[in-house]
Structure 1
Amino acid sequence: MKLSSFSLLPLALLPSINASFATDIFSYANSLVSSQSGEEARMHSQMSKDGPISIMDSWTWTNCGTAADVVQLKSIKVSPDPPVPGKNLTVTVDAEVLQVIEDGAYVDVTVKLGLIKLLQKEFDVCEEAKNANATVQCPVQKGPYSVSQTVELPKEIPKAKFSVAVRGFTVDDEDMVCLDLLVDFMKRPGSV
């Protein structure tokens, strides 16, 4: 399940991993959740407070970048909100690209369940876009972008809170984007 590409630069680069790998991560997370005590399960990593925080029903995002970053995030929207494990999720990202993004740009993605690191991986942005046949391909020209991508969430996602840190860099190692996400899968649609 090649879930993403540059089209969802910050949010969906995590799901660009294949389906079996994603399933393994969430299965591992599920076993951790079921083995933790109540106190440990409530612990979560502290998110960056550098930028404005956008709070939705079960997720938040923080732009931890600066005005000098190559990609200026304007908004991130998901549907359905809250996301539902095992269902399709459509993500729409509005951003302004301030300089051309060339081959070699990359993002470092870290996913945590509480204080436990589930994934830390570097993704080649242009390669991911190419592999996913995204509408936006490198070199990405300056200008405004509004892109949407639909991905299928693994059904194995446990009832837990996940934090995702995305740090993107150009081929010249200039800051490209900085994003922190907190996704709460403890709230399920229709649950009280």
Structure 2
Amino acid sequence: MKKKELIQKLSYKFPEIEKEDIKYILDSFFDLMKRALLNENRIEIRGFGVLYLTKGKGVFFTNPKNQQRYYIKEKIRPVFKLGKEFKERLNLPFLASLDLGTQTFRLCLGKHYKGKTYYLLNIRENVRLGEGLVNDKKISEKAFQRGIEALKNFKKIMDTYEVRKYKAVGTAVFRE
């Protein structure tokens, strides 16, 4: 994710904060992190991970083409180590719920960890299954196809996230 995308997502999550303010806060945060690392401080964010610098050794390297030896000087590298809780959450399987309504189908993906649900995606597709029900008491062919396409799309998304457990709730249209 790029910084611009992060600003966009945060502005959706916190609509009461101006985008310029979010950008300023993020710039300040990253500046503080840079300064901390330049001062060789370790940055620990509980539940997320630790960021620190390590010094790699200098090594001699032989070029296989011309057999010439080179010295690669020591380098300082940033290292990020995931926090235990975050790592556990990442490795949990995704769960899905499907709400198959008369007008809209919804898919919600998330993970359940220590009694709390963390949501990743919430997708809705307008299928308008009710189209034709008033006249014929049947789902029209077009509406049926829209429903099938929405379910295929949801299946593709669920396969991408390797969802194995899901629950679906259907509207009265499916029961009659």
Aligning the two structures, in what range does the TM-score lie when normalised by the shorter sequence? under 0.3
**Structure showing the higher strand proportion among its residues:** 1
- Greater relative CO, 1 or 2 (CA 8 Å, sep 6+): 1
**Structure showing the higher helix proportion among its residues:** 2
